[in-house]
Amino acid sequence: MVNEGEEAPDFELQSHDGETVKLSSYRGRWVVLYFFPKAFTSGCTRETQEFARLWDEFEKLGVVVLGISTDSVSTQRRFAEKYGVKFKLLSDSEKRTSQAYGVLRPTGTAERVTFIVNPEGKVAKVIRRVKPEEHPVKALEFLRQSM
């Protein structure tokens, strides 16, 4: 797993709205990168709904929020539409990004881990082993203390 202080691996993934997203294009900004196992499951739904609920707070801070799972682009699109997601959900269907971050599970899905990437492209914080809906709250707390 990528640890705090390490360079965040760059990636190029399709978002739910069809855009190609590269992490390196956000250099100079804080980025919350949350990996989740599977769209439409209870924990992932609670986590994504909480990120969506707090999205205005992240936006006020100028923080980019990106959700990543191994689901297809079309599944991510349906998930984003159903829950009113205003940030990008990315499809890692080839599982390369999950593998690069060390969060790919034997089941082929991503582990639930949130990485906060600083403006220089380094991982400033790793959030794991908390309830799904706590990931957005913990990320926001960390960012408010660090920015």
Q: What is the pLDDT along the chain (147 residues), one digit of tens a residue?
A: 999 999 999 999 999 999 999 999 999 999 999 999 999 999 999 999 999 999 999 999 999 999 999 999 999 999 999 999 999 999 999 999 999 999 999 999 999 999 999 999 999 999 999 999 999 999 999 999 999
Which residues are the active-site residues?
Answer: 44
Which residue blocks in the chain are alpha helix, DSSP H?
42-60, 73-82, 96-100, 134-146
**Domains of the chain with CATH codes:** 12-146 (3.40.30.10)
Q: How far is CA 88 from the centre of its chain?
A: 9
Do the Cβ atoms of 3 and 123 come closer than 8 Å? yes
Q: Across-strand partners of 33?
A: 66, 115
CA torsion 139→146→128→33, rounded to 10°?
Answer: 60
Closest CA to 8 of 84, 121, 86, 136: 121
**What confidence score (pLDDT) does residue 50 get?**
97
**What confidence score (pLDDT) does residue 53 get?**
96
Closest CA to 36 of 1, 72, 83, 71: 71
- CA of 24: how far to CAs of 63, 95, 116, 139, in Å? 14, 19, 14, 20
Residue type at 122 in one-letter notation: K
